[in-house]
Structure formats: C-alpha cells, structure tokens
C-alpha cells in the first residue's frame, strides 16, 4: 500500500540554523512526492514537489530530492527564519486521485 513516514517533532531551531525534516515512503507504482506547509489556523499550501526519481523540488530556499533507492524525500533548508515556523507535511500521490500525508512535523524557529 501507500504510506508516508515523517520525522516526529516538534523541532526547535535558532534562526539561520540548518533544517532537515526526514520523510520516507512506501508506494505502488511511480508516485509523485510533495511537501506542504501549514501555518496556524490555515489550510495546507504546496511548498514543493518532485514527480520522478532524482528530481529536486525547490521553493523559498527549501529543497527536497526524490531518492528512489532510499524511498526518501527529505526536506532541507540552509538557513531558517522565524517566518518558517509552521507544520510541514510530506505527501505522496501514486495515481493523482488520492494523496497520502505524513503526520506532520512542527517547526519553531527562535530569534
């Protein structure tokens, strides 16, 4: 079946620190992989995506590389800001008609 396992939080970092949030998946077929971000009281917003192996998704300084050999899609950012504080969700879609989400990782960045 399809599932996503995400690094548990919460994660607390100082401003300008390096961020990694781990995500691994199991899937049938050839999934696409996504990172969504959720700010307090809001819905989810797409952060980045990758649709095939070795693709790198990037946006707003965040990056993630689709690694088929390790079934991973880890999220990274070289220097976090206070405004990056949010909950981050890893997700996969194997046929486009259903998305599977991880449980989310809460990030707090302190000045």
Contact pick of 45, 59, 81, 83 for another protein (by CB under 8 A): 45
Residues 6+ apart with CB under 8 A from 41: none
**Could you say whether residue 93 binds another protein (CB under 8 A)?**
yes
SS (H, E, C) 13-79: EECCCCEEECEEEECCCCCEEEEEEECCCCCEEEEEEECCCCCEEEECCEEEECECCCCECCEEECC
How many residues are there in the chain? Answer: 111
Strand partners, 45: 37
**Could you say whether residue 101 binds another protein (CB under 8 A)?**
yes
**Could you say whether residue 34 binds another protein (CB under 8 A)?**
yes
Q: How far is the CB of 63 from another protein (least distance, A)?
A: 17
Contact pick of 26, 30, 53, 83 for another protein (by CB under 8 A): 30
Q: How far is the CB of 79 from another protein (least distance, A)?
A: 26
Nearer to another protein, 17 or 58 (CB): 58
Contact pick of 11, 19, 44, 80 for another protein (by CB under 8 A): 44
Q: State the Cα–Cα distance between residues 65 and 35, nearest whole angstrom.
A: 11
The residues of the shown chain that bind another protein, judged by CB under 8 A, are: 4, 6, 29-32, 34, 36, 41-46, 49, 51, 89, 91, 93-104
């Amino acid at each position: 079946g399809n599932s996503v396992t995400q690094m548990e939080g919460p994660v607390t970092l100082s401003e300008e620190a390096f961020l990694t949030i781990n995500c691994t998946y199991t899937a049938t077929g050839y999934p696409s992989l996504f990172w969504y971000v959720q700010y307090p009281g809001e819905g989810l917003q797409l952060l980045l995506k990758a649709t095939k192996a070795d693709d790198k998704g990037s946006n707003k300084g965040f990056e993630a590389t689709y690694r088929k050999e390790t079934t991973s899609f880890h999220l990274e950012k070289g220097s976090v800001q206070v405004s990056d504080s949010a909950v981050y969700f890893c997700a996969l879609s194997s046929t486009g008609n259903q998305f599977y989400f991880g449980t989310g990782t809460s990030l707090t960045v302190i000045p």
